[in-house]
Structure 1
Amino acid sequence: MPGTLHVLHGYIGAGKTTLARRLERELPGIRFSADEWMVSLYGVDPPESEYRAAQERVRGLMERCWRRCLELGQHVILDGGAWKRSERDHLRAAAAEVGAEFRLYALSLPDEEALARVLARNEREPGHLHVAENTYRMLRSQFEPLGEDEVVEVVPPALTTAAST
Structure 2
Amino acid sequence: MDSTVKPRLILLCGLPGAGKTTLAKRLAREIPAVRLCPDEWMADLGIDLFDEPTRDRLERRFWKHAQELLRLGQTVILEFGFWALSEREEKRVRARALGVPVELHYLAAPIDELCRRLEARHAKGEPGTVSISRELLEEYTKLFQAPDADELALFDAPPPGRRR
**TM tier, shorter chain?**
0.7 to 0.9
SS at match of 2:149: coil
Residue pair 1:122, 1:128 contacting (<8 A) in 2 also: no
The aligned residue for residue 92 of structure 1 is 92
Q: Hey, what does 2:73 align to over in structure 1? A: 73
Q: Percent identity?
A: 32
- Alignment pair present for 1:28 and 2:32: yes
Q: Which of 30, 35, 39 lines up with 2:43 in the alignment?
A: 39
Q: Which runs of 5+ in 2 are unaligned?
A: 158-162
The structural deviation recorded for 1:69 is 0.7
Match of 2:61 in 1: 61
- Post-superposition offset of 1:30: 0.4
| Aligned Cα root-mean-square deviation (Å) | 2.2
Structure with the larger helix share? 1
Which consecutive aligned stretches of 4+ in structure 1 deviate over 4 angstroms post-superposition? none
Whole-angstrom distance in 2 between the partners of 1:93 and 1:131: 34
What is the alpha-carbon distance in structure 1 between the residues aligned to residue 126 and residue 30 of structure 2?
A: 27
| Matching residue of 1:7 | 11
Residues 126 and 21 of structure 1: CA distance in aligned 2, closer, same or farther (over 3 Å): closer
SS at match of 1:149: helix
Q: Which amino acid aligns with 1:13?
A: G
Moved more, 59-68 or 2-11: 2-11
Q: What are the equivalent positions in structure 2 for 1:118-133 lying under 5 Å apart?
A: 118-133=118-133
SS at match of 1:132: coil
- State the Cα distance separating 1:42 from its structure 2 match: 3.9
Q: Distance in 1 between matches of 2:22 and 2:92?
A: 23
Number of aligned residue pairs: give it.
152
**Greater alpha carbon shift after TM alignment, 94-103 vs 126-135:** 126-135
Amino acid at match of 1:18: T
Which amino acid counterpart does residue 143 of structure 1 have in structure 2? F
Between stretches 144-153 and 81-90, larger displacement belongs to 144-153
Which residue number corresponds to residue 140 of structure 1? 141
CA distance in 1, matches of 2:144, 2:66: 24
Q: Tell me how far 1:87 sits from its aligned partner.
A: 0.5
Letter in structure 1 aligned against 2:10: H
Cα deviation, residue 38, structure 1: 1.7
Tell me the amino acid that sits aligned with residue 94 of structure 1.
R
